């Protein structure tokens, strides 16, 4: 995609991959609008990045999505890129009784949120000369981490949804991209993950991702995630088992 001169809306833009991606795209000469639930966090990011804008948004709330989408279209008629990045990742146990409230929250945020946001903006995006919808999924969409089973299932669901949407938008001005990160040094599962030596440094991930975004690739994959992306197939269970044994220290 074209890396400059866009008007970009990104969800979950106050921390981690979302903030780093927003700041990198902002510095490349794009109008970036970030969103998140907490105004204080939004204000902190926009203050550090003059010219960046923000919207308070609860991606679990359809009314909040509808309101924000309407205001974006009215205030930013050139909006042409939507990055569905907001997501939550929590440990669970698929071999025991599931915490229903946690499951519903993860599903609402990670699956229904991106679908609703894109649905609210898709007709507007079709009017743009060149538009892009992006979904931030995960390498765990292809090789699930058993201790976060619901999270992994949501990312697999969005991978599938993105492929269907890409097919249906063939011949339009709207491209559908998927960014599938590996394990990255963020605070997605707590502060300790930000310095986890086995995870990819956030800056390295963003630099490589931006370079890939500048190509014609539909799936934006850094080198470190390709082993996971390439795994699905008739013998995928063996790799999944090996991966989970390694992650759990077995």
Beta-bridge mates of residue 133: 82, 176
Handedness of CA 31, 37, 179, 127 (dihedral sign): negative
- Edge to edge, what strands does the sheet with 7-10 contain? 53-56, 31-36, 7-10, 81-84, 131-136, 174-179, 219-220
Q: Can you give the three-state secondary structure of 169-201, one letter per residue?
A: CCCCCEEEEEECCCCECCCCCCHHHHHCCCCEC
**167 is a catalytic site residue:** no
Helices and strands in the chain, H and E counts: 9, 7
Active-site residue among 76, 135, 151, 167? 151
Buried residues in 128-141 as b, exposed as e (16+ CB within 10 A): beebbbbbbbbbbb
Q: Is 112 helix (H, G, I), strand (E, B) or coil?
A: helix
Residue 221 belongs to what H/E stretch? Answer: none
What residues are annotated to the active site? Answer: 151
């Amino acid at each position: 995609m074209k890396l400059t001169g866009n008007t970009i809306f990104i969800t979950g833009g106050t921390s981690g991959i979302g903030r780093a991606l927003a700041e990198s795209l902002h510095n490349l000469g794009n109008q970036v609008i970030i969103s998140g639930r907490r105004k204080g966090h939004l204000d902190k990011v926009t203050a550090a990045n003059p010219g960046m804008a923000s919207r308070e948004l609860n991606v679990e709330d359809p009314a909040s999505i509808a309101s924000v989408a309407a205001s974006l279209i009215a205030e930013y008629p050139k909006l042409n890129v939507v990055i569905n990045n907001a997501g939550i990742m929590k440990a669970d146990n698929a071999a025991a009784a599931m915490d229903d409230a946690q499951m519903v929250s993860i599903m609402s945020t990670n699956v229904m949120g991106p679908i609703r946001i894109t649905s609210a903006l898709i007709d507007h995006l079709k009017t743009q000369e060149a538009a892009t919808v992006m979904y931030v999924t995960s390498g765990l969409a292809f090789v699930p981490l058993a201790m976060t089973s619901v999270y992994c299932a949501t990312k697999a669901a969005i991978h599938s949804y993105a492929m269907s949407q890409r097919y249906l938008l063939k011949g339009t001005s709207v491209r559908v991209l998927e960014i599938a990160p590996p394990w990255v040094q963020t605070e997605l599962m707590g502060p300790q993950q930000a310095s986890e030596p086995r995870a990819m440094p956030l800056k390295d991930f963003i630099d490589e991702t931006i370079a890939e975004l500048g190509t014609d690739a539909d799936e934006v994959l850094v080198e470190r995630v390709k082993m996971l992306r390439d795994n699905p197939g008739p013998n995928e269970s063996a790799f999944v088992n090996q991966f989970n044994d390694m992650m759990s220290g077995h």
